[in-house]
């Protein structure tokens, strides 16, 4: 995701810095660069740290990066810009974590080991319980906090852990950037990982009782996501899709119910302008935002729940275009209509 530190700019960094500039003297702010890599993002906070100090505020910058290849350079960078470098991986418990790839490679990443008591080896690095760390830094304090999470697929393990204690961790953030890396997830785990991506904002909206992040910036890069087969995704879609060629009572009733719902949604969508929908989506709790520029909007699926026109058009496609266009019981993917499906829809 392109960084944006311009005053008043639309990017996540500018959004956070504008809130800090408007905060009163004495405000404490925390920025977490979780997965700092070479430190290219962190170094750009140097001027913000100095400006906060000039306003009588504090901006604490923490760099987390376990890769040994970056340890020396990040330590020097942190000292130079008055930040804190922690050569640690973040996870669900304190212990050791295994590096995948060559340890001295800039593309190495981490995978949790089963035991938190594993002895240090040349391919393991220390790991902290990030929930404990966040609670210590954030809980009970009125701070402005911002997190960039770029941990090469480990987000699918870490975020569910943080959601279990969200009111003391994620709910206390002002905003965050998450880079999703589905490509680093094993095929048999991709369906659950994708489910986390799609439900993450909803879990924050419903799980944060009072305080919640204002916005989550999703970074969904084509190289990390698109074209990756997700086992079970097709079967899930077929389970919820209309099937052409089924004319039983249940199928007729389901179609009648869908068409009635579609008519109600169409009437509502006609009353809502595009500007109204944009305002509602932008102002709701935990707004979904993105400035990914390759043409795909990772927030479009989230907007289905707040944009009446988008909700109508996507539901219309789901109703009007059955997955089976042959009328012979075979769907477009060559999968036979499952026995339960034939039984239910033909009744």
pLDDT tens profile 132-166: 999 999 976 678 999 999 999 999 999 999 999 99
- pLDDT confidence bin for 292, thresholds 50/70/90: low
Residue 329 has pLDDT above 60, yes or no: no
Average pLDDT over residues 176-205: 96
- pLDDT confidence bin for 238, thresholds 50/70/90: confident
- pLDDT confidence bin for 119, thresholds 50/70/90: low
* Residue 52: per-residue pLDDT: 96
* Residue 288: per-residue pLDDT: 93
Q: Where are the beta strands (DSSP E) in 41-132?
A: 58-64, 84-86, 89-91, 95-100, 109-112, 124-129
* Residue 336: per-residue pLDDT: 55
pLDDT tens profile 248-283: 777 788 888 999 999 999 999 999 999 999 999 988
* Residue 346: per-residue pLDDT: 47
Nearest to 66 by CA among 103, 16, 116: 103
Residue 315 has pLDDT above 70, yes or no: yes
**Which tokens belong to 95?**
């212990």
- pLDDT confidence bin for 24, thresholds 50/70/90: very high
Q: Contact at 8 Å (CB) between 303 and 217?
A: no
* Residue 116: per-residue pLDDT: 47
Residue 246 has pLDDT above 90, yes or no: no
* Residue 241: per-residue pLDDT: 77
Partners of 148 in beta bridges: 33, 177
Helix axes 46-54, 12-22, angle to 10 degrees: 10
* Residue 328: per-residue pLDDT: 41
- pLDDT confidence bin for 234, thresholds 50/70/90: confident
147 vs 4: which has the higher pLDDT: 147
Residue 106 has pLDDT above 50, yes or no: no
Token match 């938190």: residue? 116
Whole-angstrom distance, CA of residue 301 vs CA of residue 195: 12
* Residue 8: per-residue pLDDT: 77
Residue 167 has pLDDT above 80, yes or no: yes
DSSP 149-191: E--TTTHHHHHHHHHTTGGGTGGG-SEEEEE--GGGS-GGGHH
| Chain mean pLDDT for the chain | 85
Q: Which helix (H) or strand (E) holds 215?
A: strand 215-219
The whole-model pTM stands at: 0.86
Residue 79 has pLDDT above 70, yes or no: yes
- CA dihedral angle for residue 202, residue 203, residue 209, residue 215, rounded to 10 degrees: -60
- pLDDT confidence bin for 101, thresholds 50/70/90: low
235 vs 70: which has the higher pLDDT: 70
- pLDDT confidence bin for 115, thresholds 50/70/90: very low
Buried b (16+ CB within 10 A) or exposed e, 207-243: ebeeebbebbbbbbbeebbeeeebeeeeeeebeebbb
Q: Where in the chain is the domain with CATH 3.40.50?
A: 12-225
Residue 73 has pLDDT above 80, yes or no: yes
What is the DSSP pairing of strand 95-100 with strand 124-129? antiparallel
CATH of domain 12-225: 3.40.50
* Residue 257: per-residue pLDDT: 92
Partners of 219 in beta bridges: 179
Residue 86 has pLDDT above 90, yes or no: yes
**Which tokens belong to 130?**
């990030």
């Amino acid at each position: 995701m392109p960084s944006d530190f311009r005053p008043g700019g639309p990017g996540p960094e500018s959004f956070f810095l504008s809130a800090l500039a408007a905060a009163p003297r004495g405000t404490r702010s925390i920025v977490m660069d979780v997965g700092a890599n070479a430190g290219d993002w962190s170094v750009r906070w140097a001027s913000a740290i100095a400006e906060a100090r000039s306003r009588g505020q504090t901006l604490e910058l923490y760099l987390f990066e376990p890769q040994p290849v970056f340890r020396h350079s990040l330590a020097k960078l942190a000292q130079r810009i008055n930040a804190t470098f922690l050569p640690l991986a973040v996870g669900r418990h304190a212990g050791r974590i295994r590096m995948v790839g060559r340890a001295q490679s800039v593309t190495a990443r981490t995978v949790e080991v089963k035991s938190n008591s594993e002895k240090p080896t040349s391919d393991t690095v220390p790991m902290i319980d990030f929930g404990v760390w966040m609670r210590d830094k954030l809980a009970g304090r009125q701070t402005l906090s911002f997190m960039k999470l770029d941990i090469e697929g480990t987000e699918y393990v870490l975020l569910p852990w943080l959601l279990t204690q969200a009111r003391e961790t994620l709910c206390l953030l002002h905003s965050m950037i998450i880079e999703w890396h589905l490509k680093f997830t094993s095929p048999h785990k991709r369906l659950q990982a994708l489910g986390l991506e799609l439900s993450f904002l909803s879990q924050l909206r419903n799980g944060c009782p009072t305080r919640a992040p204002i916005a989550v910036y999703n970074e969904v890069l084509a190289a990390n996501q698109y074209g990756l087969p997700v086992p079970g995704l097709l079967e899930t879609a077929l389970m919820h899709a209309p099937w052409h060629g089924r004319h039983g009572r249940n199928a007729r009733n389901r179609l009648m119910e869908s068409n009635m719902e579609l008519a109600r949604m169409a009437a509502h969508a006609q009353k809502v302008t595009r500007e109204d929908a944009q305002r509602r989506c932008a102002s709701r709790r935990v707004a979904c935002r993105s400035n990914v520029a390759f043409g795909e909007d990772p927030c479009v699926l989230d907007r289905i729940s707040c944009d009446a026109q988008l909700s109508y058009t996507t539901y219309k496609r789901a109703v009007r275009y059955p997955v089976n266009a042959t009328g012979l019981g075979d769907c477009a993917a060559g999968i036979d209509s499952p026995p339960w499906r034939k039984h239910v829809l033909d009744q």
